[in-house]
Amino acid sequence: MTSFPHSPEFDLPYQSAPHCLIPAPPALPDAPLSLNRWGFADTQFLIDSDGNVQLTGARYALCGQVIDRLLPWSQSQLGLPIVPGDAHPFAWPLSPPASRLDAAALAALQQLLGDDGVSTEPLVRQRHGHGHSQEDIWAVNYEGFARIPDAVAWPRGENDARTLLLLAQQHGLALIPYGGGTNVTAACRCPTDEARPIISVDTSRMNRVRWIDPINRIACIEAGATGAQIHDVLARHGYTLGHEPDSYELSTLGGWIATHASGMKKNRYGNIEDIVIDCRVLTPSGELLRRNVADRESIGFDHRRLVLGSEGRFGIITQALVKVHALPAVQMHESILFPDFATGVRFFHDLQQSGQLPASIRLMDNRQFMLGQCLKPTPAGVAAVKSALQKWYLRRVRGFDLDRIAACTVLFEGAATEVKAQRRTVTRLMQRHGGLYGGAGNGKQGYSLTFGIAYLRDFLLTQWIIAESFETTVPWSGVLTLCAGVRERVEREHRALGLPGKPFLSQRLTQAYHGSACLYFYLGFHYKGVAAPSAMYTRLEHAAREAVLQYGGTLSHHHGIGKIRQGFLPQIASARSRELNHAIKDLLDPDNLLVCGNQ
Ligand X SMILES: Cc1cc2nc3c(=O)[nH]c(=O)nc-3n(C[C@H](O)[C@H](O)[C@H](O)COP(=O)(O)OP(=O)(O)OC[C@H]3O[C@@H](n4cnc5c(N)ncnc54)[C@H](O)[C@@H]3O)c2cc1C
CB-wise, 220 or 499, nearer to ligand X? 220
Q: Is 151 left (phi over 0), alpha (psi -120 to 50) or beta?
A: beta
Strand partners, 594: 175
Strand 436-437 versus strand 239-240 pairing type: unpaired
Binding pattern for the stretch 550-589 against ligand X, x by CB under 6 A and - elsewhere: --------xx------------------------------
The Cα–Cα gap between 143 and 164 comes to 32
Which of 36, 240, 262, 511 is in the footprint of ligand X by CB under 6 A? 262
Angle between the 416-432 and 341-354 helix axes, to the nearest 10 degrees? 140
Q: Among the candidate windows 112-120, 253-261, 440-448, 579-587, which touches ligand X by CB under 6 A?
A: 253-261
Q: For ligand X, which residue of 141, 203, 507, 511 counts as binding (CB under 6 A)?
A: 203
Question: What distance in Å separates the CA atoms of residue 576 and residue 580, rounded to the nearest whole number?
Answer: 6
Binding residue for ligand X, selected from 149, 155, 255, 309, defined by CB under 6 A:
255
Report, in Å, the least distance between residue 179 CB and ligand X. 2
DSSP secondary structure string for all residues of 433-487 = TT-EE--HHHHHHHHHHHHHHHHHHHHHHTTTEEEEEEEEEEEGGGHHHHHHHHH
Q: Which is nearer to ligand X, 136 or 493 (CB)?
A: 136
By CB under 6 A, tell whether 247 contacts ligand X. Answer: yes
DSSP 87-126: -----PPPPPPPP---HHHHHHHHHHH-GGGEE--HHHHH
Crossing angle of helices 440-461 and 366-374, rounded to 10°: 90
Q: How far apart are CA 311 and CA 276, in angstroms?
A: 16
Hey, what long-range contacts does 427-430 have (CB within 8 A, 24 or more apart)? Answer: 429/347, 429/350, 429/351, 429/354, 430/336, 430/347
Chain residues 290-329 in contact with ligand X, contact rule CB under 6 A: 311-312, 316-317
Per-residue string for binding with ligand X, 90-129, x by CB under 6 A?
----------------------------------------
**Is 513 a known active-site residue?**
no
**Given the complex with ligand X, which of 471 and 493 has the nearer CB atom?**
471
Instruction: Select 258 or 499, whichever has its Cβ closest to ligand X.
Output: 258
- Residues composing the chain: 599
Would you give the distance in Å from CA 12 to the centre of its chain? Answer: 31
Least Å from the CB of residue 104 to ligand X: 26
- Output the smallest distance, CB 330 to ligand X, in A: 23
- Closer to ligand X at the Cβ: 99 or 510? 510
Should residue 245 be labelled a site residue for ligand X when binding is judged by CB under 6 A? yes
Q: Which is nearer to ligand X, 78 or 518 (CB)?
A: 518
Report angle CA 503, 470, 472 to the nearest 5 degrees: 120
Rounded distance between C-alpha atoms, residue 363 and residue 344, angstroms: 7
Give the end-to-end CA distance of the chain in Å, rounded to a whole number. 25
The neighbouring-strand residues paired with 516 are 475
Selected from 150, 246, 365, 413, the binder of ligand X by CB under 6 A is 246
For residue 187, state whether it binds ligand X (rule: CB under 6 A).
yes
Give the strand pairing for 239-240 and 218-222.
Answer: unpaired
Cβ-count burial 576-598 (b if 16+ within 10 Å, e if not): eeeeebeebbeebbeebbbbbbb
Alpha-carbon distances, residue 10 vs 281, 309, 321, 401 (angstroms) = 11, 21, 9, 58
| Cβ–Cβ < 8 Å for 385, 392 | no
Task: State which of residues 14, 154, 178, 269 lies at the interface with ligand X (CB under 6 A).
Answer: 178
Helices (H), 128-181: 134-138, 158-171
Answer yes or no whether residue 256 interacts with ligand X by CB under 6 A: yes
Shortest distance, position 515 Cβ to ligand X, whole Å = 20
Residues 126-155 that bind ligand X (CB under 6 A): 131-132
Residues in a beta bridge with 360: 411
Instruction: Label residue 305 exposed, middle or buried (CB < 10 Å: 0-12, 13-18, 19+).
Output: exposed
The smaller minimum CB distance to ligand X, of residues 177 and 524, is found at 177
Whichever of 494 and 557 has its CB closer to ligand X, that residue is 557
The CA distance from 80 to 82, in Å, is: 7
Among positions 254, 328, 372, 553, the unique one binding ligand X when judged by CB under 6 A: 254
Residue nearest to ligand X (CB): 255
Query: Considering the complex, what minimum distance in angstroms separates the CB of residue 32 from ligand X?
Result: 17
The footprint of ligand X on this chain (CB under 6 A) covers a number of residues equal to 36
Catalytic option among 520, 522, 537, 551:
520
**CB nearer to ligand X: pick between 418 and 468:** 468
Contact call for residue 284 and ligand X (CB under 6 A): no
Residue 442-461 contact track with ligand X, rule CB under 6 A, x = bound: ------------x-------
Nearest distance from C-beta of residue 485 to ligand X, angstroms: 24
223 binds ligand X (CB under 6 A): yes
Smaller CB separation from ligand X, 234 or 499: 234
Find the binder of ligand X among 134, 207, 216, 252 (CB under 6 A): 252
Q: How far is the CB of 264 from ligand X (least distance, A)?
A: 6
Cβ 499 to ligand X shortest distance, Å = 24
* Minimum gap (Å) between residue 319 Cβ and ligand X: 9
Torsion angles phi and psi, residue 321, rounded to 5: -95, 125
Cβ at position 527, least distance to ligand X in Å:
20
The residues of the shown chain that bind ligand X, judged by CB under 6 A, are 131-132, 176-184, 187-188, 203, 223, 245-247, 251-252, 254-256, 258-259, 261-262, 311-312, 316-317, 454, 558-559, 596, 598
Known catalytic residues?
A: 520
